Structure 1
Amino acid sequence: MAESSLITQINDWLIDQALGDPDIVDLFEGVCNRLSAIGIPISRAVLMWSTLHPLFRAELVSWRRGSPAQLDQFIHQDTVSDVWLRSTMKFMLDNNLQVLRRRLTGPEKLVDFTILEDLAAEGYTDYLIIATDLFARPHAHDQSRRGMFVSWSSDRPTGFTDGELECLQRIQRRLSVACKTVIQARISRNITEAYLGKQTGQQVLDGLIRLGDGRETRALVWYSDLRNSTGLAETMPSAEFLDLLNAYFECAARPAIAAGGEVLAFVGDAVLAIFPVADEAELPAITRRALSALRVSLILTDRMNAERKQAGLQPIRYGVGLNIGAVMYGNIGVPERLAFSAIGPTVIEVARIEKLTKTVGSRVLATPQVASLEPHLWRSVGEHPLQGIGRPQEIFGFREEAAALEAA
């Protein structure tokens, strides 16, 4: 009876967690510590769930008595690993099982999975794993399952009692409710970051979702465009062109993201990214980060093109324009279908500047505002008219050799 009362207290704590915004690692560590504190003999526990993320297919939190819980993430793979094929979780999914229990020692010992062999060798005596579906299947005939597994292991010589097994199964439903809340929030962040960027995605989740919502900000704007994309699309097989396009984005967008930039849009074969400037005193440091990303972008491109040449593939050629100024950063479109983007004269100018890279002999061009912050890395290429802009502007080309020496 006392044990039941203690489990009820943990269940109540889990509901409180579901109503808040806990970190899932802290949540699982908290429930493990509370179960251990009331005498449930768990010495190892694992929480695993499927997720929606462009890089990861599943996430896992592991806990061991006396140690902090840890988060691991599993990347998408084209082939199924042997570890998964021999796992208790795969067996439960294939056989539509919700609970699986194995004794790892004594006359009832049954070690029929690789993980159980490992646990038995480490001195564990009992193993329980429980599955819970978290999200409804889209179709009745859909056999896929998106849910979570929780495994509990004991190293007590006698393992779990029947009462303790019942307690762990009672905990599962409330733990699943709390975890579903946290997992849904993580998936929402994953999706918004993947499609909108980290900063923009957070602004949308914070409520910036109506047409016209936005703010004016000062920013360093990065715009790149793939050369001869129409000709490539018309002459290359679709799959080969898609591979080239993604390789280009890897070169042109990833370094900007890694340096703290926000990629707002892939406009066909163009990349629009901004480095917001919250404080003017931060502008020199932000510019250095952007130029460091630019160097990485060019190095990646040259390296990738050398590999593509050896393989007999089309090279990746693109230009980059950089500008600094005010941008309107917010929602555009129609109420039913919005896009979060940056608009304004600064963005129009940088797109026009990038077009000049096709004729002035430099892969990267910038305005005086950018060049003045690191003048030794730029050379004037003269004044040039920009389509739709009133007067010619002095434009600066990136001195790649100076940048390479500085980076060495």
Structure 2
Amino acid sequence: MVPFCRTAASDDWIVEREELAAWLIGPARLSGDAVAVTSGFAERLTAMGVPLHRLRIGMRVDNPLLTAWGIVWMPETATEIFTISHALRESSTYVGSPSQHVMETGTWFRRRLDQLELNDHTALHELASGGFTDYVAVPVTFGNGIIQPAMFATRHDSGFAEDHVASIKELSVPLSAALEAIAMRRSTASLLATFLGDGPAGRVLAGAIHRGDIVETEAAILLTDMRGFTPLSLTSSPSQLLATLGRYFEAVADAVRAEGGDVLKFLGDGVLSIFQVAEDGRTAACAAAVRAISRVVASARAEDLPPFVAALHVGPVMYGNIGSLTRLDFTVVGTAVNIVSRLEGIAKASGETVVCSGTFASAVPATLTRTLGRFEIKGLEGEHEVFAMDVEPGNHA
């Protein structure tokens, strides 16, 4: 139990409160570390005499899977980050909760947890069963008007003193300033990763935003494409077609990300992905690409997805921003990308599910490949050997 060290009216308290506000607006705001800001804020409040035993802060995020993320601090455990799915916003966990009250009204909320009534929200009863006696939730308001809830709870027998509640509410303003930049950066990173992929998002955040901001690298390239998309589009309703595409794209994207690759483009009914080659050579990147397409094969079978073809190649690419001065695209270009596109056509024509170039075949076990013969590849001189690949789950280990 944390005793009161002094009253909120004391000169020492006023000085420490001002110092805490200055820390939030200054070093905390510039730190970029939400965990450090939350922990530091809670620990400083505790040192000032506020009997704080739990602090939970939620922050909205622009993400297709998540509606919010946040941080929970308790003195006896490590500070943790949590996430909240969109579905939770419709559940009883959120509806009628103090969080909903704060976010939708922009006003603070207080409840003595040792004096609850049966109709009080489940979240409050759960805190009470954990030995908490008092609860205060305050709005943390960002400059764009978005309101986040910061929730304070104590196990002190007397709960929070009124002066301490007033100080908590007053400090919510500099706390907002400290967290806004962090939350906005996280939301920006989430949006960029959603639309560009993890690797490109990191490069854009690091400043690669101009046309010609390109790096030359080597990568294993995977191009997948649905078979029979045109007939499917003619026989399906728009909603059915989008649902099928969504399931197919999800199977490919999940597999690529699980193996450390980046999905760069959704091209109609196709997906272009890369696995960057590390300094130790092509083997690891090519193996990751094989494992990824093996995952897709397994998912397609388990989920009854439409048939698809895939092509694999490895080689040098230019990776970065191309386009006009005002409209850029983050992608890969180069001969290697053209080759994998031609290979995808060979896969369709030959009836094979997965094909690869001779260059790619040389980087994977020979037991995974069988030659299809030599083919002319548009843009390249002469004929080039193309291989079919056995990517049945388990055969590539």
Does TM, scored on the shorter chain, surpass 0.5? yes
Q: Could you tell me which residue of structure 2 aligns to residue 174 of structure 1?
A: 174
Structure 1 unaligned segments of length 5 or more: list them: 138-145, 306-314
User: 1:262–1:274: 8 Å Cα contact kept in structure 2?
Assistant: yes
Query: Aligned-pair distance for 1:290?
Result: 1.5
User: 1:209–1:331: 8 Å Cα contact kept in structure 2?
Assistant: yes
Q: Could you tell me which residue of structure 1 aligns to residue 54 of structure 2?
A: 44
CA distance in 2, matches of 1:365, 1:88: 56
CA distance in 2, matches of 1:58, 1:68: 20
User: 1:86–1:114: 8 Å Cα contact kept in structure 2?
Assistant: no
User: 2:102–2:138: 8 Å Cα contact kept in structure 1?
Assistant: no
Q: Could you tell me which residue of structure 1 aligns to residue 131 of structure 2?
A: 123
User: 1:29–1:68: 8 Å Cα contact kept in structure 2?
Assistant: no
Query: Aligned-pair distance for 1:359?
Result: 2.2
Q: Could you tell me which residue of structure 2 aligns to residue 312 of structure 1?
A: none
CA distance in 2, matches of 1:303, 1:104: 49
**Residues 1:177 and 1:316: Cα distance change in structure 2 (over 3 Å):** same
Runs of 4+ in structure 1 displaced over 4 angstroms? none
Superimposed CA distance per residue, residues 335-379 of structure 1 (whole angstroms, 9 cap, x where no aligned partner): 111100101110001001011111223211111111112221111
CA distance in 1, matches of 2:159, 2:81: 26
Q: Could you tell me which residue of structure 1 aligns to residue 3 of structure 2?
A: none
TM-score w.r.t. structure 2 length?
Answer: 0.92
CA distance in 2, matches of 1:147, 1:97: 7
CA distance in 2, matches of 1:356, 1:173: 62
Query: Aligned-pair distance for 1:127?
Result: 1.1
Q: Could you tell me which residue of structure 2 aligns to residue 200 of structure 1?
A: 200
The 5-angstrom pairing of residues 125-274 of structure 1 reads 125-136=133-144, 146-274=146-274
CA distance in 2, matches of 1:79, 1:175: 24
User: 1:56–1:73: 8 Å Cα contact kept in structure 2?
Assistant: yes
- Code of the residue aligned with 1:130 in structure 2: it is V
Q: Could you tell me which residue of structure 2 aligns to residue 343 of structure 1?
A: 333
CA distance in 2, matches of 1:4, 1:320: 67
User: 2:290–2:396: 8 Å Cα contact kept in structure 1?
Assistant: no
User: 1:256–1:273: 8 Å Cα contact kept in structure 2?
Assistant: yes
Alignment pair present for 1:114 and 2:122: yes
Q: Could you tell me which residue of structure 2 aligns to residue 140 of structure 1?
A: none
The 5-angstrom pairing of residues 274-353 of structure 1 reads 274-279=274-279, 281-305=280-304, 315-353=305-343
CA distance in 1, matches of 2:31, 2:89: 35
Matched residues, percent identical? Answer: 28
Query: Aligned-pair distance for 1:131?
Result: 1.2
Please give the secondary structure, in 1, of the residue aligned with 2:186: helix
CA distance in 1, matches of 2:141, 2:321: 36
Alignment pair present for 1:379 and 2:375: no
- Code of the residue aligned with 1:91 in structure 2: it is H
Moved more, 245-254 or 317-326: 245-254
CA distance in 2, matches of 1:48, 1:98: 15
Q: Could you tell me which residue of structure 1 aligns to residue 73 of structure 2?
A: 63
User: 2:106–2:147: 8 Å Cα contact kept in structure 1?
Assistant: no
CA distance in 2, matches of 1:282, 1:9: 54
CA distance in 2, matches of 1:381, 1:341: 30
The 5-angstrom pairing of residues 363-378 of structure 1 reads 363-374=353-364, 375-378=366-369
Please give the secondary structure, in 2, of the residue aligned with 1:20: helix
Please give the secondary structure, in 1, of the residue aligned with 2:131: coil
TM-score w.r.t. structure 1 length?
Answer: 0.90
Q: Could you tell me which residue of structure 2 aligns to residue 142 of structure 1?
A: none
User: 1:219–1:275: 8 Å Cα contact kept in structure 2?
Assistant: yes
Please give the secondary structure, in 2, of the residue aligned with 1:82: coil
Query: Aligned-pair distance for 1:97?
Result: 4.4
Root mean square deviation, CA, Å: 1.9
- Code of the residue aligned with 1:357 in structure 2: it is A
CA distance in 2, matches of 1:45, 1:404: 47
CA distance in 2, matches of 1:49, 1:254: 26
Superimposed CA distance per residue, residues 287-331 of structure 1 (whole angstroms, 9 cap, x where no aligned partner): 2122111211111111111xxxxxxxxx51211111111111111
Q: Could you tell me which residue of structure 2 aligns to residue 310 of structure 1?
A: none
Please give the secondary structure, in 2, of the residue aligned with 1:27: helix
Structure 2 unaligned segments of length 5 or more: list them: 1-10
Please give the secondary structure, in 1, of the residue aligned with 2:149: strand
CA distance in 2, matches of 1:121, 1:47: 21
CA distance in 2, matches of 1:91, 1:79: 13
CA distance in 1, matches of 2:295, 2:202: 27
